[in-house]
Structure 1
Amino acid sequence: MEIKVIGAGCKECDTLYQNVEEAVKELGKDAKIEKVEELIEIVKLGVLSAPSLMIDGKLVVIGRVPGVGELKKLLS
């Protein structure tokens, strides 16, 4: 599983990254979690609002920070 936390290093982006790490850990998933902070890369991904979350190439969260419980559902 490939997970991308997308955003230019804002507080919300950091919170989303931490929540994703916690959700992956609680689920015992084997996942590669990557932070995408470079504006050029964000634009290439087609993301217009931060923070956003991409799982296996699919944009699943745009412009908000879901909690660990919601992330666990998205990752299951």
Structure 2
Amino acid sequence: MEIRVLGPSCRACDKVYRDTKTVLAELGKAADLEHIRDLKEIGRYGMMATPALIVNGKVKSSGKIPSKKQLKKWLEEA
């Protein structure tokens, strides 16, 4: 599973990264998890609002902090 959290080092972006890491551990799932902070690289994904969460190439969230419950659902489905 490939997961990208897009956003500069802001509280919301860092929270999405931490929560995603926590939920992965709770589920016992392995993933290639990366926090992309570089604005040029974020732009390559076409994201206008951060934080953004991309799972296996699909945008799951943009411009908001998803709940851990929602993260769990997305990661179980991936």
Bin for the TM-score computed over the shorter chain: over 0.9
Residue 49 (structure 1) shift: 0.2
Aligned to 1:18: 18
TM, length-normalised to structure 1: 0.96
TM, length-normalised to structure 2: 0.94
Aligned to 1:46: 46
Aligned-residue sequence identity (percent) comes to 38
Count of residue correspondences: 76
SS in 2 for 1:46: coil
Amino acid at match of 1:28: G
Tell me how large the CA RMSD over aligned residues is: 0.7
Structure 2 unmatched ranges of 5 or more: none
Which runs of structure 1 show a deviation greater than 6 angstroms over 4 or more consecutive aligned residues? none
Structure 1 unmatched ranges of 5 or more: none
Q: Distance in 1 between matches of 2:3 and 2:65?
A: 15
**Residue 7 (1) aligns with residue 7 (2):** yes
Residue 17 (structure 1) shift: 0.5
Residue 54 (structure 1) shift: 0.2
Aligned to 1:67: 67
Q: Distance in 1 between matches of 2:22 and 2:75?
A: 12
Q: Distance in 2 between matches of 1:49 and 1:75?
A: 21
